[in-house]
Amino acid sequence: MELEYRNGVRITKFAHEKSAFEAALDEHERNLKAFYSVSSTSMVEADRKKAVADGIAFLARERAKLSTISQIQDQLLEYRAQGMAATNDNSDMWSRADAFDMLMSEGHHPTADLERNMAAEGIPKPSAEHSAHHICPGKGKIPALTRMTRIRLHTYGVRINDPANGIYLLCKDCSAPHWSMPESRGHRKYHNHDYEYLLWERISAMTNQDQIKTQLQVVGRIMQQNEPKTAIQKMKSGNTV
């Protein structure tokens, strides 16, 4: 590891000194360079260099968000506290009901709120081809079923724009394969009736907030690491990746 100094002070951070956001950006940069050095041998050299340069430039813009991380982390704490108000046994029934109604009516588009909360959790956006994706959708293909899934989340204080309910997927299928998730496809390929039934089956079996958040992220990883048909099969079989 090459260390860099400025005014006699080391400015290169060791791994244990980096925030989760910084560490994720570093991993994205390594994956970007590795992908275009191995997987893109069919590309002409000029195109390969441009793809790497564009990717690194985007990650540099994401890195600029580090200056605001502390502020948005405070906002995330407040956001989550409001969600927990719906589960507070020490408050009166009407206060809990009002808090729950607020959770159910909370919007999910555009996804700027989810992206901000994901950054606060240490999850940067991989590229301009990605957008934040709600694992439990706001309305879904089967609104009545999605409503049941949302009720399950909100019963345990998990809001629709909680970062545990978010992952980054490709906006468009034409961007696949992508260096950040080579097996994944455009996000619309995943959200179908089977997906919403299987998500409900998984979430309905959970009995506390930690289980629900963990299960949401398990489903998210399945989508990031598999093409749609394989993802559905893994959700059916109870796989975790």
List, for residues 181-235, the tens digit of each pLDDT value. 999 999 999 999 999 999 999 999 999 999 999 999 999 999 999 999 999 999 9
| Partners of 212 in the β-ladder | none
- Start-to-end CA distance of the chain, whole Å, equals 32
> pLDDT-derived band of residue 107, with 50, 70 and 90 as boundaries?
confident
CA 202 – CA 88 distance, rounded (Å)? 25
Give pLDDT, residue 41: 59
Residues of the chain with pLDDT > 90, as a percent, come to 71
pLDDT for 238 = 79
State the pLDDT at residue 44: 82
Is residue 96's pLDDT more than 90? no
Decide: 163 and 118 in contact? Cβ < 8 Å: yes
Over 80: is that where the pLDDT of 72 sits?
Answer: yes
- The pLDDT mean for the chain works out to 90
Please report which confidence band the pLDDT of residue 134 belongs to, taking 50, 70 and 90 as the band edges. very high
pLDDT value for 199: 98
User: Is the pTM of the predicted complex or chain greater than 0.85?
Assistant: yes
Mean pLDDT value across residues 111-137: 96
In 64-111, which ranges are continuous DSSP H helix? 69-84, 93-105
Quick: pLDDT tens for 8-66. 777 778 877 788 999 999 999 999 999 988 755 567 888 888 999 999 999 999 999 98
Q: Provide mean pLDDT across the span 138-155.
A: 95
Q: CA-CA distance, 197 to 79, in Å (whole number)?
A: 28
CA separation for the pair 194, 174 (Å, rounded):
23
Domain boundaries of the chain, sorted by first residue: 16-237
Is the pLDDT at 3 greater than 80? The verdict is no
Higher-scoring residue by pLDDT: 94, 169: 169
Can you give the pLDDT at residue 233?
Answer: 96
